[in-house]
Structure 1
Amino acid sequence: MKTITRTSGLAAALLASTVLFAGTAIGQEVNFWYHFDNADNPMSDLVAKFEAANPGITINAENVPWNSYYDQLYTSIVADNGPDVAMVKMTAQPRLIEMGALEPIDDRLAGWAGKADIQDDLFNLTAAADGTHYYLPVQYVILYLYYRADLFADAGLTPPTTCDEFRSAAVALTKDTNGDGQIDQYGFGFRGGKGGHDHWASFTVSRDGVGFGPGELTSAAGVAGTQFVLDLFQKDKVFPPSAPNDGFKEVIGAFQGGTTAMTIHHIGSSADMVKALGDKVSAVPVPECGGGHWTAFGDESTAVFSAAEDKDAAWKWTAFLSSEGNNAKFNEATGQLPVTKSDTANWTLHDKRFVDATTASLPFAHLYPNVSETADFTNTVWPIAMQRALIGEITAEEMNAEIDALFNK
Structure 2
Amino acid sequence: MKTFLAACSLAAGLALAGGAQAETVRFWYHFDNPDNPMSKLVEKFQAQNPGIKIEAENVPWNSYYDNLYTAIVGGNAPDAAMVKLFAQPRLVEMGALEPIGDRIEKWAGKADLLDNLLNLNKGPDGEQYYLPIQYVVLYLYYRPDLFKAAGLEPPKTCEEFLHAAKTLTKAPDQYGFGFRGGKGGWDQWGTFVFSKGAKFEKGGLTTPDAIAANQWLIDLHRVHKVFPPSAPNDGFQEILGAFKSGKTAMTIHHIGSSADVVKALGDKVSAAPVPRCGEKAWTSYGDESLAIFSSSDVKDAAWKWITFLAEGENNVLFNQATGQLTVTKSGSKNWKLHEQRFVDATVASLPFASVLPQTPATADFVNTVLPTTMQRALTGQINSEQMMKEIEALLASQ
Report the number of matched residues. Answer: 381
Q: Which amino acid aligns with 2:323?
A: G
Output one character per residue of 1:26-59: Cα deviation in whole Å (capped at 9) or x when no partner.
3111111111111221000000000110002111
Query: By how many angstroms is 1:360 displaced?
Result: 0.7
Q: Which amino acid aligns with 1:359?
A: V
Instruction: Measure the CA separation in 2 of the matches of 1:121 and 1:72.
Output: 31
Query: What SS class does the counterpart of residue 335 from structure 2 fall into?
Result: coil
Query: By how many angstroms is 1:120 displaced?
Result: 1.0
| 2:310 corresponds to 1:322 | yes
Of 165, 187, 199, the match for 2:176: 187
| Higher gyration radius (CA) | 1
**Residue 4 of structure 1: aligned partner:** none
Q: Which amino acid aligns with 1:185?
A: Q
Instruction: Measure the CA separation in 2 of the matches of 1:251 and 1:402.
Output: 26
Write the mapping of 1:350-369 to structure 2, written as runs, cut at 5 A: 350-369=338-357
Instruction: Measure the CA separation in 2 of the matches of 1:251 and 1:40.
Output: 30
Query: By how many angstroms is 1:214 displaced?
Result: 2.0
Of 123, 126, 135, the match for 1:128: 123
Write the mapping of 1:9-408 to structure 2, written as runs, cut at 5 A: 26-176=21-171, 183-208=172-197, 210-408=198-396
Instruction: Measure the CA separation in 2 of the matches of 1:308 and 1:270.
Output: 39
Runs of 5+ unmatched residues, structure 2: 1-14
Q: Which amino acid aligns with 2:181?
A: G
Runs of 5+ unmatched residues, structure 1: 1-15, 177-182
Q: Percentage identity across aligned positions?
A: 64
Query: What SS class does the counterpart of residue 170 from structure 1 fall into?
Result: helix
Instruction: Measure the CA separation in 1 of the matches of 2:106 and 2:229.
Output: 55
Query: What SS class does the counterpart of residue 374 from structure 1 fall into?
Result: helix
The normalised TM-score by structure 1 is 0.91
Instruction: Measure the CA separation in 1 of the matches of 2:38 and 2:325.
Output: 17
Which contiguous aligned blocks of 4+ residues in structure 1 show a shift greater than 3 angstroms?
none
**Residue 10 of structure 2: aligned partner:** none
Query: What SS class does the counterpart of residue 224 from structure 2 fall into?
Result: coil
**Residue 11 of structure 1: aligned partner:** none
Instruction: Measure the CA separation in 1 of the matches of 2:222 and 2:104.
Output: 51
Q: Which amino acid aligns with 1:253?
A: G
Instruction: Measure the CA separation in 1 of the matches of 2:193 and 2:392.
Output: 13
Q: Which amino acid aligns with 2:186?
A: H
Query: By how many angstroms is 1:129 displaced?
Result: 2.6
Query: What SS class does the counterpart of residue 129 from structure 1 fall into?
Result: coil
Query: What SS class does the counterpart of residue 141 from structure 1 fall into?
Result: strand
The normalised TM-score by structure 2 is 0.94
Query: What SS class does the counterpart of residue 399 from structure 1 fall into?
Result: helix
Instruction: Measure the CA separation in 2 of the matches of 1:26 and 1:352.
Output: 46
Instruction: Measure the CA separation in 2 of the matches of 1:364 and 1:223.
Output: 22
Query: What SS class does the counterpart of residue 114 from structure 1 fall into?
Result: helix
Query: What SS class does the counterpart of residue 321 from structure 2 fall into?
Result: helix
**Residue 3 of structure 2: aligned partner:** none
Output one character per residue of 1:215-260: Cα deviation in whole Å (capped at 9) or x when no partner.
1111111111111111000011000000010000010000000000
Query: By how many angstroms is 1:107 displaced?
Result: 1.7
Q: How big is the alpha-carbon RMSD for the aligned residues of Structure 1 and Structure 2? A: 1.3
Instruction: Measure the CA separation in 1 of the matches of 2:396 and 2:316.
Output: 41
Query: What SS class does the counterpart of residue 205 from structure 1 fall into?
Result: helix
Query: What SS class does the counterpart of residue 156 from structure 1 fall into?
Result: coil
Q: Which amino acid aligns with 2:234?
A: D
Instruction: Measure the CA separation in 1 of the matches of 2:298 and 2:204.
Output: 45
Query: By how many angstroms is 1:408 displaced?
Result: 2.7
